[in-house]
Amino acid sequence: MTATAPDGARSFRWRRRSVLPGFGLSLGYTIVYLSLVVLIPLAGLGIRSASLGWTQFWAIAFDPRVVQALQLSFGAALAAAVINTVFGVLVAWVLVRYRFPGRRWLDAAVDLPFALPTAVAGIALATLYAPNGPFGAILDHWFGIKVGFTPLGVVMALIFVGLPFVVRTVQPVLEEIDRETEEVAATLGARRWRTITRVIFPALLPAILTGFALSFARGVGEYGSVIFIASNLPFQSEIAPLLIVIKLEENNYAGATAIATIMLVISFAMLFVINLLQAWSRKWFGHE
């Protein structure tokens, strides 16, 4: 028997005949729909900001206040996404693997950040973590950590709104993992930790990356909850979406769209990279 090479370069074919009919119709619908709902509004954004001209655009882009706001927005979203990934996987693990009273309630509670108006969440968090709030006071007094009205508060709010994304993407995949593969790992002499890192984690990785990407994307765009818990001081705890709103209120539409365009480009680039990573991980771990 000769060594078989992995599938050769898959050649792209414009499929004319397929066992699944309706390819043309469904693709056409998808493109029209995506255009109406996503692409055209976003293109409008680009066109609007293009009216500025390059010099003005760069001036806005490198305005220290804008740079700070973008740094905070993306930095906090990234931090929150990382934290959510770790604890979201843990929550999913507990919900899938253990049976305990109140599990269903806990399971349902995970979705609450989806349903709750984010402003409500922001107010609740601000009340708790403000320097004079119950948690904020303790943290400040004992550990000297200030959460409310600081960049830390922004991360806090983004953790809140992003958590369900990780849990809900990892949970079904974890449920699919066969008990037998773990049992077989044990019979082969693998201790628990090895089974988790070598057998379970690789199977979960694509889902974890998806959850991370969703949580991150949600964090970048979040507005409602953050403005209540951050003090929104320029150069300190002002997020980019807020800056856009401020520009709009100043009737500086071009400035607002310029910031929005920058956010769009960075977000797209980051999501694209995460998607590539995900595709790579799927391939590397033989998911397809």
Name which of 186 and 265 has its Cβ closer to another protein: 186
Name which of 223 and 285 has its Cβ closer to another protein: 285
C-alpha span between 9 and 115 (Å, rounded): 45
Kindly state the smallest distance separating residue 278's Cβ from another protein, in Å.
Answer: 14
Kindly state the smallest distance separating residue 208's Cβ from another protein, in Å.
Answer: 13
Burial class (CB in 10 A: 0-12, 13-18, 19+), 47: exposed
C-alpha span between 38 and 43 (Å, rounded): 9
C-alpha span between 244 and 69 (Å, rounded): 10
Q: Tell me if 229 sits within 8 A of 146, measured CB to CB.
A: no
DSSP structural state of residue 245: H
Name which of 199 and 248 has its Cβ closer to another protein: 199
Name which of 85 and 195 has its Cβ closer to another protein: 195
Kindly state the smallest distance separating residue 12's Cβ from another protein, in Å.
Answer: 21
Kindly state the smallest distance separating residue 174's Cβ from another protein, in Å.
Answer: 14
Please tell me the number of Cα atoms within 13 Å of 253 on its side-chain side. Answer: 7
Kindly state the smallest distance separating residue 283's Cβ from another protein, in Å.
Answer: 10
Kindly state the smallest distance separating residue 90's Cβ from another protein, in Å.
Answer: 21
Name which of 115 and 188 has its Cβ closer to another protein: 188
Phi then psi for residue 260, to 5 deg, are -60, -40
Name which of 23 and 284 has its Cβ closer to another protein: 284
Helices (H), the chain: 23-34, 40-50, 54-61, 64-97, 103-109, 112-115, 118-129, 134-138, 151-176, 179-187, 192-194, 201-221, 226-229, 240-249, 253-284
Kindly state the smallest distance separating residue 42's Cβ from another protein, in Å.
Answer: 36
Work out the number of other CB atoms within 10 angstroms of the CB of residue 48: 16
Name which of 93 and 285 has its Cβ closer to another protein: 285
Phi then psi for residue 229, to 5 deg, are -100, -20
Binding positions for another protein, rule: CB under 8 A: 1-4, 6, 178, 180-181, 183-191, 194, 198-199, 202-203, 284-288
